[in-house]
Amino acid sequence: MRSSQYDSPSLASKSSSKNSSNADGMDDAHELVPADIVYVNSGVVASKYDEPLFDEVEELLGASSAPRPCTLVWRDLTVHVKLKDGKLKRLVNNVSGIAKPGSLVALMGPSGAGKTTLMSALAHRSPSGTIIDGEIAMNGVPVGEFMHLESGYMHQDELFVENLTVMEHLTIMARLRMDRRTSPLARRRKVNQLMRQLSLYGARHTRIGGLDGQKTLSGGERKRLAFASELLIDPGLLFCDEPTTGLDSSSAQKLMTLLRASAVQGKTVICTIHQPSSELMALFDKLVLLAEGRVGFAGNASGALNFFESLGYQCPITYNPTDYFIKVLALTPGSEGASRQAIKSVCDRFAVSDAAKELDMEIHLEFHLMDNEDEDSRRVKHNYKPPFLHTKIIWLVYRYLLIILRDPRVQFVRILQKLAIALTAGLCFIGTARLTQAGVQDVQGALFIIIAENTFSPMYSVLHMFPEEFPLLHRELKAGLYSTPVYYVARMLAQFPGLVVEPTLFTLVVYWVAGLRGTFYAFGFTIFLSILVLNVAIACGSFFSCAFGSMPIAIAYLVPFDYSLMMTSGLFVKLSSIPKYISWIRHLSWLMYSNEAMSILQWDGVENITCTVPQIGVPCVSTGEEVLQKYDFEANQFWIDILALFLLYLAFHLLALFALRYRTRRK
């Protein structure tokens, strides 16, 4: 039995606290408090009260299986970032260290010391443009893509699909993350177990971030939810970037107790943390102090006090030691030169200290063992089977459908708006669609209204979508949850019902109110064409949204583009009179293809257009064929137009996907 306050404690929940509620008023049936922590040998979970850990859950599930032990070791690690002018900036400078199973390691240091940079390099999650030199190995294998399977990463700023509830979020994450062989029952149990263990069960139906006035999760609950999402796959290694930032002391204590519990279970936990209280600090096994990208100290907290004392930095009795260390290692405004000198001196002295030598030996031994093992025995044997592609697509579609349906009022108002516009437009044309000279112009006008309404507002309405979702997308891609094409396909599929219903309703109303051609063939194909037009417009909007990554820039490029499409649609200028150097644009104009196809549906085979009052200089058109000729349309182009619309639909989506892939890879 170990007795030091920095040794590994285990934890257990008292059954007497089962039904108590915490200060947040949450359902804290299994709230963890430091008093429940008991000390154990080598990470074996035992309870002070000889009761099972989270007894109700264990009764149901049996004790949770021990995670795979993970030893992470890094040597002479230097991280540079490429600046815009091509120069390299060094963020982490020649850092070495080790984190072992069952330990909770704190990366501490003043703001800008390089904690996040170091941790993301260790987790193999550095942003692109980062150059990493040195060695990082997990269980003897140089880190690589497998880190997404072996480790969890809790970001400083947690990102969620805000409209989902806790339960929905975890259920979807379970489907995207957990091994595909896990049974539905086991998955549900895991989600319930995590919600109970992390005191989220009472808030399971609460939205993460809410619509107007609805109860949403507190900061602590959001952090715990992020933690739960990482624990779904029970990773052996857990990275947490400032998990306590923004939390009050009691919530911070609860969260750190959970991290301590994970370490006691056998996980390796590495945390960056800002000036923890003495109580929190007692939960850590190891402390790594960073300053200006270098290691100022690495070892246990009592060792840190001795080390700083040996340099003449005596921590005043009234000071929290960690506050004092940070003060010594921070740049003092106004005397940066002297501070840098002092920091350099601390780091230099640590580099030649006994603690550093001991650490070096440990690291050296780890790499030595690694060198002596053959490649095969070192290779990580992944038994993990990711969910099938179709499973990921289905669950992502479900996630985006939930967002769309979350507030049915929005959908209801949208439909009402569409119907109102359709009715207004239709009423303007009521009784005008006759087989007369004026009627020809009115029919063409009504067709153009159908095309324009299904083009412009939908095309502009998607411009915000990708830039808004980009941060979460980027994070989930980095976590290996799915690929860019899977996300894109799912995003589009989720929208699809709306992309059929809206144009159908609009066209139906305008068509019948305006009294366009009354054959089922013409009506059916006009509806079909309006759906196609809207989908091409959405594909084009998606391309601009993905390619330019910001709504104002996308609009700046899209406005001239849509003007040129409109001018080459065949309604405003005769196609044959457009100058050659600009007329090629009509081949991209779905407005032209749809205008031609819809015109053919209205006029093909019409023979008896009356010409009662011929206008001077404007010859009468007496057949549908003449109407089509008037607009430079050809009756035999109908199927070519439909094919062209399909090709444009595919081309815009492919371009959008390439642009999105490029954008996500560049970040």
Ligand X SMILES: Nc1ncnc2c1ncn2[C@@H]1O[C@H](COP(=O)(O)OP(=O)(O)OP(=O)(O)O)[C@@H](O)[C@H]1O
| Window of 115-123, 226-234, 339-347, 629-637 that interacts with ligand X by CB under 6 A | 115-123
d(CA 394, CA 130): 34
CA distance 260 to 250: 15
Q: Which residues contact 448 (CB under 8 A, 6 or more apart)?
A: 569, 571, 595
Nearer of residues 205 and 665 to ligand X, judged by Cβ: 665
Closest approach, Cβ 276 to ligand X, in A, equals 13
- Reduced to 3 states (helix: H, G, I; strand: E, B; else coil), residue 107 is strand
Choose the binding region for ligand X from 108-116, 187-195, 216-224, 626-634 (rule: CB under 6 A): 108-116
The nearer residue to ligand X, 31 or 242, going by C-beta atoms, is: 242
Task: In whole angstroms, give the CA distance from residue 248 to residue 220.
Answer: 8
Are 244 and 213 a contacting pair, CB within 8 Å? no
Other CB atoms within 10 Å distance of the CB of residue 35: 11
Among 30, 75, 115, 406, binds ligand X (CB under 6 A): 115
x/- contact string, 262-291, with ligand X (CB under 6 A)? ----------x-------------------
- Is 81 a residue that touches ligand X (CB under 6 A)? yes
Applying CB under 6 A, among 11, 106, 113, 330 the residue interacting with ligand X is 113
Interface region with ligand X, contact rule CB under 6 A, candidates 49-57, 109-117, 249-257, 328-336: 109-117
Q: How far is the CB of 468 from ligand X (least distance, A)?
A: 22
Q: Which of residues 503-542 bind ligand X (CB under 6 A)?
A: none
Nearer to ligand X, 81 or 486 (CB): 81
* Rounded least distance, CB 139 to ligand X, Å: 25
| Nearest in space to 125 (alpha carbons), one of 111, 99, 143, 112 | 143
Q: Of 79 and 228, which has the nearer Cβ to ligand X? A: 79
**CA nearest neighbour of 9 among 266, 261, 270, 198:** 261
Number of residues that bind ligand X (CB under 6 A): 12
* Binding track over 32-51 against ligand X, x by CB under 6 A: --------------------
Q: Which is nearer to ligand X, 329 or 533 (by Cβ)? A: 329
Q: From residue 298 to residue 327, what is the string marking binding to ligand X with x (rule CB under 6 A)?
A: ------------------------------
What mask of x and - would describe binding to ligand X in positions 117 to 136, judged by CB under 6 A?
A: x-------------------
User: Other C-beta atoms within 10 Å of 176: how many?
Assistant: 22
Phi, psi of 527 (to 5 degrees): -60, -50
Angle of helix 590-603 relative to helix 551-567, nearest 10 degrees, comes to 40
Sole binder of ligand X in the list 97, 101, 109, 243 (CB under 6 A): 109
Q: Which of 11, 32, 91, 273 binds ligand X (CB under 6 A)?
A: 91
Q: How far is the CB of 289 from ligand X (least distance, A)?
A: 11
> Measured on CA atoms in the order 256, 257, 258, 259, is the torsion positive or negative?
positive
Total residue length of the chain = 667
425 is written with which tokens?
């437009």
CA distance 114 to 95: 11
Q: What backbone torsions phi and psi does residue 201 show, to the nearest 5 degrees?
A: -65, -40
d(C-alpha 111, C-alpha 92), whole Å: 13
How far apart are CB 665 and ligand X at their closest, in Å? 16
Complex with ligand X: residue 117 or 664, whichever CB lies closer = 117
Please report how close the Cβ of residue 72 comes to ligand X at its closest, in angstroms.
18
Q: Which stretch binds ligand X (CB under 6 A): 29-37, 110-118, 350-358, 477-485?
A: 110-118
Closer Cβ to ligand X, 331 or 462, answer by number: 331
Q: Which is nearer to ligand X, 80 or 222 (CB)?
A: 80
Are 454 and 418 in contact by the 8 Å Cβ rule? The answer is: no
Query: Does residue number 243 form part of the binding site for ligand X (CB under 6 A)?
Result: no
Task: Find the binder of ligand X among 43, 112, 210, 246 (CB under 6 A).
Answer: 112
Give, in order, the Cα–Cα distances in Å from 549 to each of 213, 465, 495, 560, 661.
31, 10, 20, 18, 12
The gap between the terminal CA atoms of the chain, to the nearest Å, is 48
Only one residue has tokens 């992390």, namely 198
Chain residues binding ligand X by CB under 6 A are: 81, 89, 91, 109, 111-117, 272
